Amino acid sequence: MHFTGTQQIKAPVAKVWAFVLDPNKVAECAPGFKTMEILGPDHFKPTLAVGIGAVKATFTLDVQLEDVREPDHAAMRGRGAAAGSAVDMVAAMDLKALAEDVTQMDWTADVNVSGTLASVGARLMEGTAQRLTAKFFDCFRQKIEAPDDATAPSTASVPSSPASESTGAQ
Amino acid sequence: MSTTGTSTIGGMGHRVKRKEDPRFLRGKGNYVDDIKLPGMLYMDIVRSPYAHANITKIDASKALAIPGVLAVVTGKDLDAAGLAWMPTLMSDKQMVLPVDRVVYQAQEVAAVIATERYIAADAIAQVEVEYDPLPPVIDPFKAMEADAPLVRPDREQKTNHIWHWEAGDAAKTDEAFRQADVVVKQDLYIPRIHVASIETCGCVASFDRVAGKLTVYMTTQAPHAIRTVFSLVTGIPEHKIRIISPDIGGGFGGKVPVYPGYVVACVASLQTGHPVKWIEDRSENLQADSFARDYHISAELAANNDGTMKALRVKTLADHGAFDAAANPSKFPAGLFSVITGSYGLEAAHVAVDGVYTNKPSGGVAYRCSFRVTEAVHTIERMVDTLAQQLKMDPADVRMKNFIPPEAFPYKSATGWEYDSGNYPAALRKAMEKIDYAGLRKEQAEKRAKGELMGIGISTFTEIVGAGPSHTFDILGIKMFDSCEIRVHPTGSVIARIGVQSQGQGHETTFAQIVAEELGLPVENITVEHGDTDTAPYGLGTYASRSTPTAGAATAVAARKIRDKARKIAAHLLEANPDDLEWQDYKFQVKGTPGRSVGMKEIAFAAYTNFPSDVEAGLEAVDYYDPPNMTFPFGAYICVVDIDRGTGQVKIRRFVAVDDCGNIINPMIVDGQIHGGLTMGMAPALLEAITYDENGNMQQGTFMEYLLPTAMETPAWETDKTVTPSPHHPFGAKGVGESATVGAPPAIANAVVDALSHLGVTHVDIPFTPWKIYAILEEHGVAE
Q: Which residues of B touch A82 (CB under 8 A)?
A: 49, 125
Judge whether B186 is closer than 8 Å to chain A, CB to CB: no
Catalytic residue among B20, B108, B347, B738: B738
Nearest to B458, CA basis, from B383, B391, B396, B380: B396
Catalytic residue among B221, B501, B673, B700: B221
Inter-chain touch A115–B128, beta carbons under 8 Å:
no
Alpha helices in B9-108 (DSSP H): 21-25, 61-64, 75-80
- 3-class SS string, B662-694: ECCCCHHHHHHHHHHHHHHHHHHHHCCCCCECC
A149 contacts: CB under 8 Å, gap ≥ 6:
none
What's the full length of chain B, in residues? 784
* Contact present, A60 and A83 (Cβ < 8 Å): no
Residue B491 buriedness (CB in 10 A; 0-12 / 13-18 / 19+): exposed
E-strand ranges in B506-628 read 526-529, 581-584, 587-590, 593-599, 620-625
As a whole number, mean pLDDT of residues B387-416 equals 98
Reported confidence tier of residue B246, pLDDT bands at 50, 70, 90: very high
Whether B368 is catalytic: yes
The amino acid at residue B380 is: I
Nearest to B470, CA basis, from B479, B459, B482: B479
Reported confidence tier of residue B6, pLDDT bands at 50, 70, 90: low
Q: DSSP for B715-728?
A: ---EEEE-----SS
More confident residue, B720 or A30: B720
A33 contacts: CB under 8 Å, gap ≥ 6:
A27, A46, A47, A48
Q: Which residues of B touch A88 (CB under 8 A)?
A: 133
Q: Which residues pair with B355 in a beta bridge?
A: B163, B318
Inter-chain touch B697–A86, beta carbons under 8 Å:
no
Alpha helices in B140-185 (DSSP H): 140-143, 170-179
Judge whether A118 is closer than 8 Å to chain B, CB to CB: yes
Chain B residue with minimum CA distance to A112:
B695
Catalytic residue among B368, B372, B399, B546: B368
**A34 pLDDT more than 50:** yes
Q: Dihedral of the CA atoms A11, A12, A18, A24 (nearest 10)?
A: 0
Q: Which residues of B touch A113 (CB under 8 A)?
A: 697
B521: left (phi over 0), alpha (psi -120 to 50) or beta: beta
Interface predicted TM-score of the whole assembly (ipTM), two decimals: 0.80
* Option in B51, B696, B701 nearest A116 (CB): B701
Judge whether B470 is closer than 8 Å to chain A, CB to CB: no
pLDDT for residue A125? 83
Q: What is the DSSP letter of A149?
A: G
Q: What is the DSSP letter of B548?
A: I
Query: Could you tell me the domains of chain B?
Result: 21-29+482-625 (3.30.365.10), 32-134+200-248+255-288 (3.90.1170.50), 292-467+629-779 (3.30.365.10)
Q: Are strands B69-74 and B85-87 parallel, antiparallel or unpaired?
A: unpaired
Judge whether B105 is closer than 8 Å to chain A, CB to CB: yes
Inter-chain touch A119–B47, beta carbons under 8 Å:
no
**B645 pLDDT more than 50:** yes
Domain that holds residue A15: 2-169
Reported confidence tier of residue B782, pLDDT bands at 50, 70, 90: very high
As a whole number, mean pLDDT of residues B78-92 equals 92
* Contact present, B636 and B724 (Cβ < 8 Å): no
What is the percent of chain B with per-residue pLDDT over 90, rounded to a whole number?
A: 95
Q: Which residues of B touch A85 (CB under 8 A)?
A: 49
pLDDT for residue A82? 85
Q: What total of structural domains would you count in chain A?
A: 1
Chain B residue with minimum CA distance to A84:
B49
Judge whether B283 is closer than 8 Å to chain A, CB to CB: yes
Question: For A49-99, what is each residue's pLDDT tens digit?
Answer: 988 877 788 888 999 999 999 999 999 999 998 878 899 999 999 999 999
Q: Which of B108, B289, B695 to mutate to test the interface with A (most CBs of A within 10 A)?
A: B695
Domain with residue A77: its CATH number is: 3.30.530.20
Return the SS3 of B484.
Answer: strand
Mean pLDDT rounded to a whole number for chain B: 96
Nearest to B666, CA basis, from B514, B499, B466: B514
- Closest approach of A66 to chain B, Cα-based (Å): 19
Chain B residue with minimum CA distance to A85:
B49
Considering only residues 38 to 77 of chain A, which have any Cβ-Cβ distance to chain B shorter than 8 Å? none
As a whole number, mean pLDDT of residues B346-350 equals 98
CA distance linking residue B622 with residue B574, whole number of Å = 27
Q: Which residues of A touch B693 (CB under 8 A)?
A: 118, 122
Judge whether A84 is closer than 8 Å to chain B, CB to CB: yes
Q: DSSP for B754-782?
A: HHHGGGT----PSP--HHHHHHHHHHTT-
Nearest to B675, CA basis, from B619, B739, B628: B739
**A160 pLDDT more than 70:** no
As a whole number, mean pLDDT of residues B92-109 equals 97
Chain A residue with minimum CA distance to B129:
A81
Cα-trace Rg, chain B: 27
* Contact present, B653 and B647 (Cβ < 8 Å): no
pLDDT for residue A168? 28
pLDDT for residue B7? 57
Q: Which of A114, A117, A125 to mutate to test the interface with B (most CBs of B within 10 A)?
A: A114
pLDDT for residue A31? 85
Inter-chain touch A116–B283, beta carbons under 8 Å:
yes
* Option in B105, B699, B700 nearest A115 (CB): B105
